[in-house]
Structure 1
Amino acid sequence: MSYMLKDSIGYRINLVATTLKTNFTKLLRPSFGIAAEQFATLKIISEDNEVTQTQIAELLGKDKTTVGRSIDSLLKKGLLAREDIENDRRANRIFLTPKAENILGSAIPLAQKFNETVKSRLSKEEIETFFRVLDTILEESKNMKIKKGDIK
């Protein structure tokens, strides 16, 4: 049995994810000056203004350092603001600025259209099955026990 990269689930998922992220960024950047992952960060914060950097990292599947850099970039662009939390000098809250709220208001319809276009050749049942399969793959990969370069 030979291993072919094109038959790897991880390779195929990554190829699709990278292509989607690149194309969505091409759609967002000219009008809004943000990339796909920055849009996702803003959207997450808009849905839960108590979300932490750690939670954002988990939701995006990124490490905290990468998310921290993204948040710093959004702060510099004036899309996020930060305020200290009373009684905890180490913690602070990040929230959307009005500029970010305006961007999201205009970008969300683009995101919806982009998503609809990507799914346009799939039936509702195919999409539901696809999401179930992805959830199963995600759960299995999170539960994998890897020790000394081997899978247990």
Structure 2
Amino acid sequence: MTEPSPHPAPNLSEYQLGESVGYLLSRVKSTMSNLVTQRSMAELGITSQQGSILFMVASGKCLLAAELAREYGIDASAVTRLVDRLEKRGLLTRVRSNEDRRVVRLALTPEGHAIAARMPGIFNGVLDSLLNGFTAEEVGFLKSMLRRVLVNSGDQTGLARDAASNFDSKS
């Protein structure tokens, strides 16, 4: 068995983590998620992920658990646990399709709709704070670059539709 080295490998110590686009994107995502959770917990008693799921169902973007799994890049069992918690809280229900009994759609309860309707205000408030001092042009350029990253990844779902509607808005 090899003893762990008290010093990092030379090439690791030279790596500038703060200059890594991947690291910066990850930190921004984590920061946004934490700030949204702080607000959504204080105002609504739910996490950012729970609020986001309610919003996605309310908007019609994700009506199946499999769609949520793809959107969030998490496995089906994790989505099942999230949906179970939201269902237990009375915020959404599972509805079996009449056309295909194997399909189970997600539907919000009135309380779930009320929470989903408040999420854009929380999302926008957090983004307005994080983008403080950015010009509208800078925000538009940032969104344009992020869309290009998604296109390069092969993920083009909804980008063309969203591009025109979001280019001039700050968040």
Tell me the TM-score normalized by structure 2. 0.73
Contact persistence 2:86–2:92 (CA under 8 A): yes
Higher mean Cα deviation, 31-40 or 81-90? 81-90
- Structure 1 range deviating more: 29-38 or 111-120: 111-120
Is 1:133 the counterpart of 2:145? The answer is yes
The CA deviation at 1:89 is: 3.1
Question: 2:50 matched to 1:38?
Answer: yes
1:74 aligns with 2:122: no
Structure 1 length normalisation: TM-score?
0.81
- Name the counterpart of 1:18: 30
Matched residue type, 1:77:
R
CA distance in structure 1 between the aligned counterparts of 2:68 and 2:29, rounded to whole angstroms:
18
Distance (Å, rounded) in 2 between the aligned partners of 1:108 and 1:74? 19
Three-state SS of the structure 2 residue aligned to 1:34 is coil
- Answer 1 or 2: which has greater strand percent: 1
| Letter of the 2:144 counterpart | R
Partners of 2:52 and 2:119 within 8 A in 1: no
- Provide the residue aligned with 1:7 in structure 2: 19
Structure 1 stretches of 4+ with a deviation exceeding 4 A read none
- Unaligned 5+ segments in structure 1 are 144-152
Unaligned runs of 5+ in 2: 1-10, 156-171
State the match for 2:130 in structure 1.
118
User: Which among 25, 29, 34 is matched to residue 41 of structure 2?
Assistant: 29
CA distance in 2, matches of 1:106, 1:40: 11
- Give RMSD over aligned pairs: 2.2
Structural mapping, 1:77-92, within 5 Å = 77-92=89-104
Q: Is the contact between residue 49 and residue 94 of structure 1 (CA under 8 Å) also seen in structure 2?
A: no
Q: Which amino acid aligns with 2:21?
A: I
Per mean C-alpha deviation after superposition, the further-off stretch among 53-62 and 116-125 is: 53-62
